[in-house]
Amino acid sequence: MEITWEQRQSILNLARATIYRTLAAYPLPAPTEPYAPSAASADSVLNRPAGCFVSLHQSQTHKLRGCVGRLDAREPLRNALATAAASVLQDPRFVENPVRVEELPDLELEVSVLSPLTPAAHPLAFDLLNDGILLRYGRRSGCFLPQVARETGWTKEQLLDRLCTEKMGLPCGSWRKPKAQLSVFTTVTVGPEQFVPSSSINTNP
C-alpha cells in the first residue's frame, strides 16, 4: 500500500483528534484546525478497507504506553483507526496507570496500517523482520507486529514462544502442535511522531 506524506499526516491527525476527544479534554477539531484530517488528501487511503494498530510510547525511553488495534479489513481504515485510537487509552496492560492528557507532550504516536491476512504454510513460514504474525490455537489467538522482532532481536522460535505465553496464555512450543495455525500480514508504519508540542497543550478545563 502506497501512502503519501499528506495521507500520513491525515492518518496521524485523525488518531490525535480521536485521542483528544476520548480523553474528554478537547472537542473534536474542526476541519481547519491543526489536528483535523484533510479529507481531500486522505480520501483514497482512509476510505480503503484496512486493519490498523495505534501505539503510544514515551519519547525519551520508548517505553510502551499503549498498543491496540484490529486485524480485519472489513471496514474503511477511517473507522478502524478511530476505534483503535480510542481503545489505545484502555489498553488492559495499563489499567492501573492509564494515559493522561498531561502526558501527551511526552509521548510519540505511531500507526501501523495492515495488509489483509494471508495463511502461512506452516508456523515458521514468515519473514522475521518484515511480517506481522497472527497465531490461532482453538479459540485463542495472539499477534505481534513486525516491529517486535526488529526491536527485540528474537528468533522465529522465540517470537512464537513469547506469543504463546504472553498473548495467548499457552505453554511454550504450543505453536508446534498441529492445532496451531499461523497467518501473516505486512504493515505500513506511519510515524512515530511526537504527539504534540508542549506549547500546544492547555490542560486547564
Q: What share of the chain is helix, strand, coil (3-state, %, to 5)?
A: 35, 25, 40
All CATH 3.30.700.20 domain ranges in the chain, comma separated: 5-115+187-200
CATH class of the domain at 5-115+187-200: alpha beta
CATH superfamily of 118-185: Hypothetical protein ph0010; domain 2 (3.30.1490.150)
Residue 18's identity, in one-letter code, is T
Q: Report d(CA 185, CA 146) in Å as an integer.
A: 9
Q: What is the pLDDT of residues 45-94, one digit of tens each?
A: 899 999 999 999 999 999 999 999 999 888 899 999 999 999 999 999 99
The alpha carbon of 13 is separated from its chain's Cα centroid by a whole number of angstroms, namely: 15
- Does the pTM exceed 0.85? no
How do residues 96-139 score in pLDDT, each as one tens digit?
A: 999 998 899 999 999 999 999 999 999 999 999 999 999 999 99
